Amino acid sequence: MANQNVKPATGKLGVMVVGLGAVSSTFMTGVLMARKGLAKPVGSMTQYDKIRVGKGADKQYKKYGDIVSIASLNDIVFGAWDVYPANAYESAINCEVLKEKDINPVKDELEKIVPFKAAFDKNYAKRLDGNNVKDCKDRMDMAEQIRADIRKFKADNNCDRIVVLWAASTEVYVPVDEKIHATVASLEAAMKANDTEHVAPSMCYAYAALKEGAPFIMGAPNTTVDIPAMWELAEQTKLPIAGKDFKTGQTLVKSGFAPIIGTRCLGLSGWFSTNILGNRDGLVLDEPANFRTKEVSKLSTLESILVPEEQPDLYTDYYHKVRINYYPPRNDNKEGWDNIDIFGWMGYPMQIKINFLCRDSILAAPLCLDLVLLSDLAARAGKYGIQRFLSFFLKSPMHDYTKGEVPVNHLFQQYTMLKNAIREMGGYEADEEID
């Protein structure tokens, strides 16, 4: 029952990742190991999840790849950009997320993934000091050099399609400025004028990807694709964009647990979230301007699930705080603590404590795979602009705030949106409603 409107996933899919650190090297190693049958892609919806299609007597539960044409792991070719010149094998060893025995069987393939020089501006990530960096005369030149890299990679690896994924550090917070970020024309003018304050390097990557016919995914909380200029460019180029910030640990817990409180009509007095983490991510987030970007993304989740206007008795004045602390001994194994103060019958207080000892890259790697495969699918299905159906994977789902749209942050509503989109692209009825 394949939908004739979706082009099949033929040929090679180039996956170009910005940043070749812990997340990317774990993602790449896992995919290469999985396709050799030496590891399992646990946590990946595209590889494991089954969706109901049809109703009643026609009801079937099928994997995504049996409903729609999804690129095979065997067809993926990896490329990257990074401020450090280390190849993917060296990076995987240095990051110490995976054991050497889980990296060595694909050493030859990983060593061939050598990063292009990064389009980088130290003002956006002061704690990073790599020297594998492009020399750019202005932001437009930066974008043009990235475009050249994409074209070269596509030709050298004989790729049919490219997807660009940002898995690099969180940049300094860039507030949306109407004068610069409202239209493609004003953004391009700022790039040509080398307005480094309003145009982040990540915006140059997104611009370059879209101009080269590649969907773009923002895996950090950067403002990159959250601006009307990028939405306009995605419409012009007829390409999907998705963002922002991989929903891996604490926010995943929040978007799944807050609905328990809301559904059970319990009250909330406060939710305090704190994290300790090491690795490059923790180092960069130790800088207040970079943390600000992250804080905005992590805070937005709760407010659209437990809404004061809908239940004034239960959610009027709750206190919500998010903290991130750089703690080198933990490296990639971050720890998230949530203290939740709730109240029940007659206003009596209770507490919930959640302690999630997560491995950041182990949770992020399958999200990278799903976002890449589903963005490629969306492009082949002719879906362009903001991809709301990918909200399930992201901390701050994209939405048109200029029209007052409220993003869906409720995990199970996001899952319904995801399932409906897959059904639709597979030629089935999108038959689940979001209440």
pLDDT at 25: 98
pLDDT at 3: 56
Q: What is the mean pLDDT of residues 388-405?
A: 94
Question: What does each C-alpha distance from 131 to 84, 96, 198, 263, 402 come to in angstroms?
Answer: 6, 22, 24, 51, 39
Cα–Cα dist 10/142, whole Å: 31
pLDDT digits (tens, 9 = 90+) for 358-388: 999 999 999 999 999 999 999 999 999 999 9
pLDDT digits (tens, 9 = 90+) for 349-365: 999 999 999 999 999 99
pLDDT at 26: 98
pLDDT at 434: 85
pLDDT digits (tens, 9 = 90+) for 228-277: 999 999 999 999 999 999 999 888 999 999 999 999 999 999 999 999 98
pLDDT digits (tens, 9 = 90+) for 263-278: 999 999 999 999 998 8
Dihedral of the CA atoms 397, 223, 296, 46 (nearest 10)? 30
Q: Is the pLDDT of residue 304 over 80?
A: yes
Cα–Cα dist 115/80, whole Å: 5
pLDDT digits (tens, 9 = 90+) for 48-88: 999 999 999 999 999 999 999 999 999 999 999 999 999 99
Run of H or E including 125: none
Q: Is the pLDDT of residue 2 over 70?
A: no
Annotated domain spans of the chain: 12-246+361-425, 250-357
pLDDT at 118: 98
Matching residue, tokens 């170009």: 16
Q: What is the mean pLDDT of residues 318-332?
A: 90
Q: With pLDDT > 70 as the criterion, what percentage of the chain qualifies? A: 99
Per-residue pLDDT band for 422 (boundaries 50, 70, 90) equals: very high
Whose CA is closest to 188, among 232, 253, 153, 156?
232
Q: What is the mean pLDDT of residues 309-325?
A: 93
pLDDT digits (tens, 9 = 90+) for 191-210: 999 999 999 999 999 999 99
- Range in 167-181, 282-296, 384-398 the model is least confident about: 282-296
Write down the architecture of domain 12-246+361-425 according to CATH.
3-Layer(aba) Sandwich (3.40)
Query: What tokens were used for 249?
Result: 């640990």
Q: Compute the Cα dihedral for 201, 30, 79, 368 and give only its sign.
A: negative
pLDDT at 281: 78
> Tell me, what DSSP letter sits at residue 430?
-
Whose CA is closest to 39, among 29, 25, 24?
29
Dmax (CA) of the chain: 68
How many C-beta atoms surround the C-beta of residue 264 within 10 A? 9
Per-residue pLDDT band for 300 (boundaries 50, 70, 90) equals: confident
Q: Answer yes or no: same fold for 12-246+361-425 and 250-357.
A: no
Contacts of 33 (CB under 8 A, 6+ apart): 39, 102, 105, 106
Write down the architecture of domain 250-357 according to CATH.
2-Layer Sandwich (3.30)
pLDDT at 1: 45
pLDDT at 303: 87
Q: What is the mean pLDDT of residues 150-168?
A: 98
pLDDT at 289: 81
What does 337-392 look like in DSSP terms, one character per residue?
EEEEEEE-GGG-EEEEEEEEE--HHHHHHHHHHHHHHHHHHHHHTT--EE-GGGGG
